Structure 1
Amino acid sequence: MTKLALTTAAALMASTAAFAQVETRSVTFENEGATLSGTLYWPEAHDGSALPTVVVTGAWTSVEEQMPSVYAREMVQRGFAAFTFDFRGWGKSGDLPNNVRFIESPAAKTSDIRAAFEFVSTLPEVEAARINGLGICASAGYMVDAVSGNELVDRIGLVAPWLQNAELVEAVYGGSESVAVLISVSQDAERVGGQVIPAAGSEGATGVLMPIGGYYYDSDRGAIPAYDNKWNNAGWESWLTYYPADHAGNLSQPLAIVHSEAAAIPQGVRSFLEQFAGDATLQMLEDVTQYDFYDNPEDVTRAAETMADHFNG
């Protein structure tokens, strides 16, 4: 495995000389009986030839208008087409089986990403031999699983990846007893058809998934009208028993990761890379928080430059 570690000082900061205007088209596609809503992005005034394309997915509970849209536009500025979508049970897309919504299901979201790759490979704007995947935060694991063994995908990039294993799950969620309690909550919620609570709240709020304020709670950032701001407690078990940090052995495509020691669980990245036998580029930025990677212009630019260089490789 080849690893290239880049510091903030060494990171590329220059964008393309002239920012392209972005055109978009709303589309729908099908997966497992549900209709998913997505958006294709490409440079305005492009000559119509097929472009290398990046499928972009976001953090848990997110919708496509949040960080996926931010990075899709960054990819277009760098000469790519890009594609975002809402997972089943979220945003504008249809429900999960049994009319369930707002469950963070790794299996369902991985399946949806695979379906997205299949769909974009049929679009005339897309160069089918150069389709790439870019997963942000929680969807990094789903992206790894959707890309592994997938001949449609050329390369994969992960930004601020949340790659957990059993040890990290216990460390993040308060130990084995606390994890067991949350799994019990999940099972109880599933028995009654789901239990939906707010996803984001102010710092210290009760009865919400993320009582920390910040990105998802700030209307100038992620608390946009399109955001569901919902979490279904029935999803805890599938999330807490999902260990993508252990899945590196399944991946063969060239990989680039941008992360920071100041962001979420960098230990998971180290564990993943120790097991990855392929070509890898690692860029660790200094003092960049998880939420900074979602929408802080300077940090998004640096991450996007690394991803564009990787996808052009």
Structure 2
Amino acid sequence: MTQPRPFQLFTGGTSLAATLHRAVPDLVEPQPAIVVTGSWLTVKEQMADLYAARLAERGYTVFTFDFAGFGASDGTPRQAELPARKIDDIIAATRAVSTLSFVRPGAIGYLGICASAQYAVRAIAAGAPIAAFASVAGWFHDARSVAPFYGGADGVAGRLDRAADALAAYQRTGEVRTVPAYEAGNERAGMFLDLDYYGSPKRGAVPTWTNEMAELSWAYWLTFDGLSAAPRVQVPSLFVHGDGCVLPENLRAVAGTVAGPAETVWAEGTQVDFYDQEPQVALAVDAADAHFRAHL
């Protein structure tokens, strides 16, 4: 049984609130390390900590952290899904982890769940000290493939207009205009489909999660390119996905174009099943453990 302990990753920029998961009671014995992050608009206490606890029991030192502007981390604007900022956080966090003597040198893995998988690919391509990568129910999109989630061209245009207004207000006064991160049936929300994970306190609606999204986020989320960096990823990569997960064709494209060795594990289950449900989590943890054990 692991005992999580609070940690802080001082990156030289934003200070990132983290949790250290480690089965060994001391901070002396070097272990391979894994950094785990979750979906967009989330905090570490949601899907990331669940995976981290499971992996720590397998002999890894595992870190989760809140991205800048979320949870207990510093950073403004708050609740803003800014892919470039999150990519920088991944680079900074893994560099900070690499300085710790209880982390085996050169043995840092990264497990990204949902949208943070595409940010990790960008971070690896930019030189983050990550030796092996695993994607679980990875969300990989570009402007063309993400548009249907939001009503096509008209839905995207409306959101970009609202983002422009929100950005203008932020630039003028510092005001951060927010909408719900999740509210079933509310098309102004970040997520408006019926998703029990985000609606249930027994699942993802945890006390540390703020159910808000900065409306300026649309300008960056809807225009993000999560696909083209894949050919610059040379580290061994694992992709756990399925036809019931989001954008399976994009996942196949990314897995097929990374420069390093890649393995794909195709499984049954919906996107949010892989956040906290069995047998999906156990399957993903087993696959990730085998992958990291082989490459770290």
Instruction: Give the TM-score taking structure 2 as reference length.
Output: 0.92
Q: Which residue of 2 aligns with 1:78?
A: 58
Q: Aligned-pair distance for 1:67?
A: 0.5
2:90·2:128 contact (CA, 8 Å) conserved in 1? no
1:156 correspondence with 2:137: no
1:302 correspondence with 2:279: no
Could you tell me which of 43, 59, 71 is aligned with 2:39?
A: 59
Q: Which residue of 1 aligns with 2:235?
A: 253
1:50·1:127 contact (CA, 8 Å) conserved in 2? yes
Q: Which residue of 2 aligns with 1:3?
A: none
Q: Aligned-pair distance for 1:272?
A: 1.3
2:18·2:63 contact (CA, 8 Å) conserved in 1? yes
Tell me: CA distance 1:233–1:312, structure 2 relative to 1, closer, same or farther (3 Å): same
2:115·2:139 contact (CA, 8 Å) conserved in 1? yes
Q: Aligned-pair distance for 1:267?
A: 1.6
Q: Aligned-pair distance for 1:197?
A: 1.4
Percent sequence identity over aligned pairs: 34
Could you tell me which of 83, 86, 102 is aligned with 2:79?
A: 102
Q: Which residue of 1 aligns with 2:198?
A: 216
Instruction: Give the TM-score taking structure 1 as reference length.
Output: 0.87
Correspondences of 1:155-304 after superposition (within 5 Å): 155-193=132-170, 194-201=176-183, 203-205=184-186, 207-211=188-192, 212-286=194-268, 288-304=269-285
- Return the letter of the residue paired with 1:81: T
Q: How far does the alpha carbon of each residue in 1:254-309 deviate from its partner, in whole angstroms, 9 at most, with x for none?
A: 100000101111121022133223200000102x0111000003210100110111
- Return the letter of the residue paired with 1:257: F
Partners of 2:169 and 2:34 in 1: how far apart? Answer: 39
2:111·2:136 contact (CA, 8 Å) conserved in 1? yes
Greater than 6 Å deviation, 4+ residue runs: none
Q: How far does the alpha carbon of each residue in 1:116-135 deviate from its partner, in whole angstroms, 9 at most, with x for none?
A: 10111122221121101111
Tell me: CA distance 1:161–1:102, structure 2 relative to 1, closer, same or farther (3 Å): same
The alignment of Structure 1 onto Structure 2 pairs a total of residues equal to 288
1:165·1:268 contact (CA, 8 Å) conserved in 2? no
215-224 or 24-33, which deviates more = 24-33
Partners of 1:170 and 1:81 in 2: how far apart? Answer: 38
Tell me: CA distance 1:47–1:25, structure 2 relative to 1, closer, same or farther (3 Å): closer
Tell me: CA distance 1:206–1:244, structure 2 relative to 1, closer, same or farther (3 Å): closer
Q: Aligned-pair distance for 1:151?
A: 6.0
2:91·2:129 contact (CA, 8 Å) conserved in 1? no
Q: Aligned-pair distance for 1:247?
A: 1.8
Tell me: CA distance 1:291–1:42, structure 2 relative to 1, closer, same or farther (3 Å): same
1:170·1:179 contact (CA, 8 Å) conserved in 2? yes
Q: Aligned-pair distance for 1:230?
A: 1.0
- Return the letter of the residue paired with 2:44: E
Q: Aligned-pair distance for 1:207?
A: 4.3
Q: How far does the alpha carbon of each residue in 1:136-156 deviate from its partner, in whole angstroms, 9 at most, with x for none?
A: 101011111112242621101
Q: Matched residue of 2:205: which SS?
A: coil
Q: How far does the alpha carbon of each residue in 1:25-56 deviate from its partner, in whole angstroms, 9 at most, with x for none?
A: 21222346322110111114479410001000
Q: Which residue of 2 aligns with 1:5?
A: none
1:87·1:112 contact (CA, 8 Å) conserved in 2? yes
2:136·2:274 contact (CA, 8 Å) conserved in 1? yes
2:179·2:215 contact (CA, 8 Å) conserved in 1? yes
1:254·1:279 contact (CA, 8 Å) conserved in 2? yes
Q: Which residue of 2 aligns with 1:15?
A: none
Q: Which residue of 1 aligns with 2:173?
A: none
- Return the letter of the residue paired with 1:78: R
Runs of 5+ in structure 1 lacking a partner?
1-20
